[in-house]
Structure 1
């Protein structure tokens, strides 16, 4: 009995040992498989640029796999080293992009030169690299660059070995965990997970320029969503697809292979009557020719139709995606043919360049649950159909029609992030008429009032007239409500006077030296401007009394959204020449107040710098004129109101000053007449300048009274 008991105990122990051994063996196999395969299955052997056994042999020698970690929490200001960017060519602020030389990069990895497939580049990736090298952003010296582009083709994720690509990138001399490196990836990285835009072996802090993003794998403000380019579209001339009125079909529905059959069936039921009538066509891949490019099959009529030509016969086009973000090739076909896209919101796709392109201006968005109401929705948008189609063709031709256009748009977006002061505005990106780049009438804004005790900041634009500048500082310092001075020293090659030379005043003086002599520098939102109210002055406005300045400030406190100033001008229309004319205000009509002496809210510095089209600011800086006229255009366009002139003074020249300078030149008025007409064209049908026929003077001005006047010194007529 004891023998049997001992034997049973021995058998039990043996069984346990066998189970433990088998479990350990299976666990080791699992660990080996996990280390070898990256925990996610690799592409099929036919898709690999090198044999699977060779790639495992090379990569198994890599001991440190920490570089494969993905920085999904990356934001632009946490992972992008913005401080490494410096001034570009010709003293312009722009990113500098370095492209790794392919041959030199491989030469630094001699054990990888035995793989000839690494030398293969798609035509599209070659175009991307060539576009960068020929662009204004290109920098041939790596030490001078702040953005880097690897030489390896990563456009098609199905045709690359992810572990090998990770290894190659990690061995780039400037890789630094992918910081400031761009990777272009138009197609998903694996077949088993088609919605995976990011690589299987993720690349640290890289900025991914991806063509199949959804909200689940997109890092807003960091990655950039790009379109998937179809090289077959090159043979089509998108300019001929503009006559939307002659199109017979109302809607073409493109069903992608792999689309959810329940969604497809829901659409068929929702649009059953329209499909029978023939105004709506539902297209998908043909059963006998699932890979045919130039034709699609009509689900309802059971016939083949030419593709993408059929799209030019429809006013609207809707894509039924497989939900992975791979629908952008069809979306690009839709835009190329001038068809207004209908986009289903449920897919949560990140549309190409949606960071800057307003898709609401030319697309119709619906939920799947709204498809029963799709016809009324499309009917309500028909009034703006022509404008939508114009915007479709504009967006396609400007941003999507070629690899160079896609590449340059990507770099422009990145440059706007790094240098927001030079960033293009909303209208720069979305305006469809190059002759009217800012033709949107802004709604009236209500700027908050400020307390008198806060005072104002005197912002003086200075260059090299030291004596007049010092006189102006002494004069303005007498105003009781002055809080501080901000001197914008606009001389790029000469230093401002040392502090010991400046006149002694009882207000702080902050001197800001600009890098370039540009008129727009006076309207930059400097952090040193801490008050809401700004008194903008030229450095030679040294004749104003403290009463004039104080009365102007108190008037502005009552109208904080208006431009309140002293020297006024007027515009008038010449019917003979059919042009606007710039003139002085001796007729007592005022529509322009010069910013050489004017109060306004500091918000307008922000609006001028960041919201006004860059093309206008650039024109002003290049021609070195008319920044004050543009400032009046801008404020009147925002408020819909004219400026306000205060005090009776009309002449703003000191008695002992000579007539040198811009205003003393008669040709100056001719040039500024040209400015008004140029700016008028930018606003199209909306001409913002408004005239006013009165000025604001202190109470009891020119009235004989025994009472003490609050502002006795308001200047001479």
Structure 2
């Protein structure tokens, strides 16, 4: 009268196998599909990418529990819980780089990162005064199968007196994990350290604590870098293709589902989607009937030419997040990679420079209206990605702890009055003309009004210029405007004071600008070249260079009630010329500063004759 359960009985005691009754009455165990002996029939020798590598020993249960506990604690780390702000209060944000160990190999890419830190204004040689610590051990490539993998990092860190469980440390990583799942493993316990890593996954990324890096190649230049490829003035520039992609077609593993469907987009006219099966070891055993035909099309097109001649560039799911080629080529990225944290997402609004959608909508992505302008990609490339130095400086600025919160009205820089006039005498060692751009602690307001002794401005003109600056706080807003030029005969830069619609700089003789540019002036121009700015108009031109390089925007000229007569282009002293219009002086710009002149707009000064942004116009 009782019913019997059919099928395999359940086992007790916490075992992980199920049993069936054999014909003889004995219980036979089900096969364990994780056994390597059962998987050998599915893969030949040398076919897998990991073949030939020595198998890593299985960790003990105690080690697995410790790893799980450490992972849980690391995911909960934030600035408030895993960063000691007290180290930054006395000396400010200073970075200490561990000394390199003799005999330990270091890649060129990591050497460039360390050199950029040492040349920045954040570096300190005193570990006791440091707010942030950077390892001297190369941690960029944490793929165990890579020849650049550095073993034994965890043991070296635990032996260091500065490690302190990773607190106040920043670790740079470009490649983490290994085949086949490419999990985010570093091969050592990072503790409470902040991670600056490329191809960061959103599920493990700690906002406000970690930094998402761009994946840059080993040959990426340390300084300077190639400019963006956008040369046309048309908005938007006309391109031959609408959408392009050229990359690997994974036959198995991560991203294989999305990349195998890319061939459906290819029509050879508006959309060019090229894939190749040739990657990894043993790809020939897994190739399908389309591999040979796809590879023939793959070799017909040059990747860089495709990028430069396409409006959109597809970035599908892969084992790493795509490198920086699309932004440099002024190609708007179409990111179809769920779960990736885009580079510098903490400070960059990628929605204005890229199309981000789910990879499940590969064949249904609507064309944005209007699409992001390619000029946005050029701005990101020039300001953040074109060199290792820019990547490192952005990383350090993002990693710096925010200032402590203060009650409303007591924060430094709060404006209680329309203006603050501080009468102060500069010390004798700061008597050069360029020293007026030094970030003095007495300057507490955001707006800085720069005047010389001949700037005869009325109170209404100052009020009008300040109102214009509030509409354009990132630009230089002033009255005297000039046009810079290169004097080939005298081998120096000069500026012309002749009346013309072609204006490129606004002189700080009577101008408003943000106090941030004082700090930028000191950090971006080395002390040696700054010492050469003792005379001439060099400091005026250089300030315009820095602002143009930082914003990619022209300055703003404010029209006066009556423009004074301006002298001709001749080297005269300050004090000659009309009311409030300092004459233009010739100056030899130091070589490090002259490299910034490519950012100075040729004829793009904004002219304001009425209050607010509506009263401003581009010159005809």
Q: TM-score range by the shorter chain?
A: 0.5 to 0.7
Contact 2:276–2:291 at 8 Å: present in 1 too? Answer: yes
Q: 1:301 aligns with which of 270, 293, 307?
A: 293
Partner deviation per Cα, 1:79-125 (whole Å, 9 max, x = no partner): 4556656999xxxx98544234435xxxxxxxxxxxxxxx8x6x664
Contact 1:225 / 1:352 at 8 angstroms: preserved in 2? yes
Of 324, 330, 343, the residue aligned with 2:334 is 343
Q: How many angstroms does 1:154 deviate by?
A: 6.5
Aligned 8 A contact 1:592 1:632 in 2: yes
Aligned to 1:414: 395
Counterpart Cα distance in 1 of 2:112 and 2:520? 32
Matched, 1:72 2:75: yes
* Residues in 1 aligned to 2:242 and 2:467: alpha-carbon distance in whole angstroms: 59
1:224 aligns with 2:211: yes
- Secondary structure at the counterpart of residue 671 of structure 1: coil
Q: Which residue of structure 2 aligns with residue 197 of structure 1?
A: 184
Instruction: Quote the offset at 1:283 in angstroms.
Output: 3.5
Change (3 A) 1:249 1:178: closer
Check conservation: 1:286, 1:297, Cα contact below 8 A: no
Does the CA contact (< 8 Å) of 2:249 and 2:256 recur in 1?
no
Determine which of 616, 619, 623 is the counterpart of 2:533. 623
Alignment of 1:59-458 (within 5 A): 70-75=73-78, 79-81=82-84, 84=87, 95-102=94-101, 125=107, 128-129=110-111, 132=114, 136=119, 142-143=127-128, 146-151=132-137, 153=139, 155-158=141-144, 165-189=153-177, 194=182, 196-197=183-184, 199=186, 202-227=189-214, 250-252=244-246, 254-256=248-250, 257-259=252-254, 263-264=258-259, 267=262, 271=265, 274=267, 279-285=272-278, 289-290=282-283, 298-299=290-291, 301=293, 303=295, 311-312=303-304, 314-315=306-307, 318-322=314-318, 326-328=319-321, 331-332=322-323, 340=331, 342-352=333-343, 365-368=356-359, 371-372=362-363, 377=367, 398-399=386-387, 405=388, 408-417=389-398, 455-457=417-419
Residue 438 of structure 2 contacts residue 521 of structure 2 at CA under 8 Å; is this kept in 1? no
Residue 409 of structure 2: aligned partner: none
Alignment of 1:623-642 (within 5 A): 623-624=533-534, 642=558
| 1:518 aligned residue (419, 425, 435) | 435
Question: Structure 1 pair 371/247, CA: closer, same or farther in 2 (3 Å)?
Answer: closer
In structure 1, distance between residues paired with 2:284 and 2:172? 25
Change in Cα spacing, 1:689 to 1:282, as seen in structure 2 (3 Å) is closer
Q: Displacement of 1:215 after TM fit? A: 1.6
The question of whether the paired residues in 2 share the 8 Å contact of 1:311 and 1:334 is answered with no
Question: Is the partner of 2:97 in helix, strand or coil?
Answer: strand
Aligned partner of 2:46 in structure 1 is: none
CA distance in 1 between partners of 2:297 and 2:483 (Å): 59
Secondary structure in structure 2 of the residue aligned to 1:210: strand
Following superposition, the deviation at residue 174 of structure 1 comes to 0.4
**Structure 1's 72 and 261: CA in aligned 2 closer, same or farther, altered over 3 A?**
closer
Match of 2:37 in 1: none
Confirm whether residue 687 of structure 1 aligns to residue 596 of structure 2.
no
Q: Deviations over 1:501-546 (max 9, x none)?
A: xxxxxxxxxxxxx999722137x796744xx9876666x79x99xx
Paired residues of 2:484 and 2:505 also in contact (CA < 8 A)? no
**Residues 298 and 342 of structure 1, relative CA distance in 2, 3 Å threshold:** farther
Contact 1:213 1:349 in 2 (8 A): yes
Change (3 A) 1:689 1:246: closer
The aligned counterpart of 1:605 is 514
Deviates more, 1:356-365 or 1:166-175: 356-365
Whole-Å separation in 2 of the counterparts to 1:337 and 1:628:
30
1:577 and 1:133 map into 2 onto residues whose CA distance is 35
The alpha carbon displacement at 1:175 in A equals 0.4
Listed one character per residue, the Cα deviations across residues 266-286 of structure 1 (whole Å, up to 9, x for unaligned) are 6555x37x2799954344457
How many angstroms apart in 2 are the aligned matches of 1:64 and 1:303?
43
Structure 1 contact 253–320 (Cα < 8 Å) conserved: no
1:287 is displaced (CA, Å) by 10
Match of 1:490 among 426, 429, 433: 426
- Pick the structure with more helix per residue: 1
Which residue in the other structure is 1:473 paired with? none
CA distance in 2 between partners of 1:168 and 1:252 (Å) = 41
**How many residues in Structure 1 have an aligned counterpart in Structure 2?**
497
Distance 1:486 1:521 in 2: 15
Q: Give the distance between the partners of 1:71 and 1:551, measured in 2 at CA.
A: 57
Distance in 2 between the 1:552 and 1:339 partners? 41
Deviation for aligned residue 1:562: 8.8
- SS of the aligned residue for 1:490 comes to coil
1:671 aligns with 2:576: no
Residues 255 and 282 in structure 1, CA contact (< 8 A), matched pair in contact too: yes
CA distance in 1, matches of 2:443, 2:398: 19
Q: Secondary structure at the match of 1:174?
A: coil
Structure with larger Rg: 1
In 1, the alpha carbon distance for the partners of 2:269 and 2:447 equals 66
- Cα distance, 1:305 vs. partner? 6.4
Cα shift readout 1:691-717 (whole Å, capped 9, x = no counterpart): 989xxxxxxxxxxxxxxxxxxxxxxxx
Distance 2:73 2:206 in 1: 12
1:487 to 1:222, Cα distance in 2 relative to 1, 3 A? farther
Deviations 1:2-21 (A, max 9, x none): xxxxxxxxxxxxxxxxx9xx
Q: Quick one: distance in 2 between partners of 1:344 and 1:78?
A: 33
**Unaligned stretches of 5+ in structure 2?**
1-11, 16-49, 231-237, 403-414, 473-477, 567-571, 611-620
